[in-house]
Structure formats: C-alpha cells, structure tokens
Amino acid sequence: MAEIGLRGLTKRFGEVTAVSGLTLEAASGELVALLGPSGCGKTTTLRMVAGFETPTAGRITLGDRDVTGEAPEHRNCGMVFQHYALFPHLTVAQNVAFGLQMRRVPRADSERRVAAILDKVGLGGLGRRLPRELSGGQQQRTALARALVINPSVLLLDEPLANLDAKLREEMRFYIRSLQREFGITTLYVTHDQAEALVLADRVAVLMDGVLRQFDAPEEIYHRPRSAAVAAFIGLTNLLPGTVVSRAGEAMVVDTPAGRVRGRGVPDLAPGARAMLSIRPEHIDLGGEAADGANRLRGVVVERTFLGAITDVRVQVGDGLVLRVQGRATAPQRGGERVTVSFPDDAAWAVPADA
C-alpha cells in the first residue's frame, strides 16, 4: 500500500483552481518531488497533505488511513517550512523538543530523543544556542531535526533550501537525501529547482497550472518528457518544430525548417502530426567527426559564451532557428563560422507541438 495517496485532489480559492484532480502515490520510503513554477499548486498540495488546507474535492490517505478530514496534529506529519519557522526566543534544543512537548512526551524521554537527533544532524553541542546564532545550514538542520524527532509517518519539505547560497544548497541536497534514506521515511519535497528535484527524488511530479503533467523517474522526465512544456521546463533544451513524416515503433522521421531529422518520440504522434523535437545541448556535437548515421545540420555560429567547465555555442540552423550546443571549454568555434552540428537519433525526442 502507498504510504501517501492522493486521489482526485482539488483545491479552489474562489474562482481560482490551485490544484485540479491530482492523483499520485508515494511508496513507503520513497522521496517524491513536487516540481513546477511558482503558482503551479505544489505548496498548496503539500499543505493539504499536512492538513493546513482543506481540499475542495478528493481524498488523502496516509498508509491505510483516510486523513482528508483530520486535523494536522492527528496526521503525524513532520514538516519543514521554507523559512524554517524556528521560534527565535527558544534554544535549538527547545525548538526541536517543541513537537514532543505538544505530544506530552515525558521530559527524560524528550531530552534523550532531542540529544540523539541533534547528534544525527550534526548539531550535537549546539543545543543551547538561539536560532540567530546559527548559520543558514544549521538553522535548516534544526528544522529537519524538529520534524524528525517526533518519528513522523511522512516528511513534508517545502522548498527547504531556497534561502541558502548556491554552494551550501548543493551540499544540503546530498545531506537531506542521505538522511532521508537512513531514516527510510516517505517524503514529499516541494521545489521549483529542476536540478534539486533530479538529484533528490526517486520520482518527480511535474505540476503546471495546478495540473499534473508528468509523474516519472528523473531520467524519464529529463530524457523522455511527454510534452513540450515539460521538456522546456526541465533543464535546458532545444525545441525544434516539425512535422512527422513516418514512424516505426518509437523511431520516427521529422521534417524541420533546418532539415530532416531522425529521432524517437511519444506513442501518440502519427505521420502528419505537428511535433516539437527536444534536443539537449550536451547531446549535440559541434564540428569534428560525426558518428555514422548521426543527424547532421548545417549552420552558422552566432554567439559563443565561456561558462568555465563548458562553452555554450549558439548556432543558427534556419531562419530564426538557433540551437544551443554545450561542450568542452576549449571549443575553437567563433562567431560567423560555418559549422555542422550532429547528434544521434536517440538524442532527438519528439512530443506533440501543442502539448
């Protein structure tokens, strides 16, 4: 049985539908990322699971219990908010112990559990400090400790890394993932950061305008998106418009303004259908020897940008059609140079043009 189950979950605020008919499951011990742009309904979904918002329609189950109408304190959810919501006048230990006090856990047991969880999150010896005396990473770990110390059935994280600098955010991604695996706790993780979702999650639910657009493993979301909107939102990609000429199983041929391209695609694209080809910049080779059978398009370099470990080159391959190519930092191509870009069939993934 799924540890978290959402069935037809809908939330309306007046005339606005924040979440529409959301159905998904998170298995025991699984980390599911709710990913999408601002206003897509991901935080509203998390708040409904926690009990802070009442669904307009649909059901929420935690384990074998239907908790749709239950109060937050009866759901046994641990939650970490974006701004941590630490009590400024309480010490680290007191903040962590707050949930235990609300559950009337005996003092000796509470102190033992608080000490153990602080050691687990690397805050042993800092229990007497106030939140203002902690770094951003330490505050985040305090909030995690407070959520975990109550032994919750599920963990809910609402953009917990949004307030950290880039280097610390990257470090904390791996820390949260290792901690979640160690505890084996089923987790819903809200983020608008695509890289964060791909690194952390077992599966990613992509939400747009309150609607679930795709729910898959990170590799599937990235390499085999089901729509142009998902392809464009996840990472960086080139979207090349065209018309399907023929297909055999998953393989297809697409006519584009830059030339004919062989690729793969979603099942519902028939010959004659308008399509968009998603081609990731790192899968395109600029110059050099193309592999046998690779797609080849001719173009002109319009811009070259040094990004440190890689170089981003923009190549115009058609009227108003520019492909971004990312490769080795020593790439010699310069503006105005005529080049050939190449990529294998399985690097071009076709989706419906209007999806």
For the residues of 250-318, what is the DSSP string, one character each?
TEEEEEETTEEEEEEE-TT--TT-EEEEEE-GGG-EESSPPPTT-EEEEEEEEEEEE-SSEEEEEEEEE
Structural contact between residues 148 and 187, judged by C-beta atoms closer than 8 angstroms: no
Question: From the CB of residue 214, how many other CB atoms can be counted at a distance below 10 Å?
Answer: 21
Judged against a pLDDT cut of 80, whether residue 328 lies above it is answered with: no
Output the pLDDT for position 307: 85
Q: Lowest mean pLDDT: which of 41-45, 125-129, 271-275, 293-297? A: 293-297
Judged against a pLDDT cut of 80, whether residue 227 lies above it is answered with: yes
Q: Is the dihedral of CA 198, 200, 206, 209 positive or negative?
A: negative
pTM of the model: 0.90
Q: Is the dihedral of CA 127, 132, 133, 137 positive or negative?
A: positive
The confidence band for 146, taking pLDDT boundaries of 50, 70 and 90, is: very high
Edge to edge, the sheet with strand 321-328 lists: 285-286, 338-343, 295-306, 310-318, 321-328
Instruction: Report phi then psi at 342, rounded to 5.
Output: -135, 150
Helix 92-102 to helix 136-148 angle, to the nearest 10 degrees?
20
CA distance 120 to 145: 8
Q: Class of 4-223 per CATH?
A: alpha beta
Edge to edge, the sheet with strand 211-216 lists: 77-80, 154-158, 186-191, 31-35, 203-208, 211-216
CA distance 5 to 26: 7
Across the range 26-33, mean pLDDT stands at 96
Edge to edge, the sheet with strand 4-13 lists: 16-26, 4-13, 57-62, 65-66
Judged against a pLDDT cut of 80, whether residue 289 lies above it is answered with: no
Output the pLDDT for position 316: 95
Judged against a pLDDT cut of 80, whether residue 278 lies above it is answered with: yes
Type of residue at 207: L
Judged against a pLDDT cut of 80, whether residue 355 lies above it is answered with: no
CA distance 195 to 218: 10
Question: From the CB of residue 50, how many other CB atoms can be counted at a distance below 10 Å?
Answer: 19
Nearest to 212 by CA among 44, 76, 23, 74: 23
Judged against a pLDDT cut of 70, whether residue 218 lies above it is answered with: yes
Across the range 276-297, mean pLDDT stands at 85
Output the pLDDT for position 290: 60
Structural contact between residues 274 and 355, judged by C-beta atoms closer than 8 angstroms: no
- Alpha helix stretches (DSSP H) within 87-238: 92-102, 107-120, 136-148, 166-183, 194-200, 218-223, 228-233
Judged against a pLDDT cut of 60, whether residue 1 lies above it is answered with: no
The conformation of residue 350, written as its DSSP 8-state character, comes to: E
CA distance 255 to 94: 65
The confidence band for 319, taking pLDDT boundaries of 50, 70 and 90, is: confident
Lookup: tokens for 158: 């609402």
349 CB contacts (<8 Å, ≥6 apart)? 223, 224, 225, 231, 263, 264, 265, 277, 278, 279
The CATH number of the structural domain formed by 228-287+294-352 is 2.40.50.100
Instruction: Report phi then psi at 264, rounded to 5.
Output: -125, 170
How confident is the model over 75-121, as pLDDT tens digits? Answer: 999 999 888 889 999 999 999 999 999 899 999 999 999 999 999 99
Residue limits of CATH 3.40.50.300 in the chain? 4-223
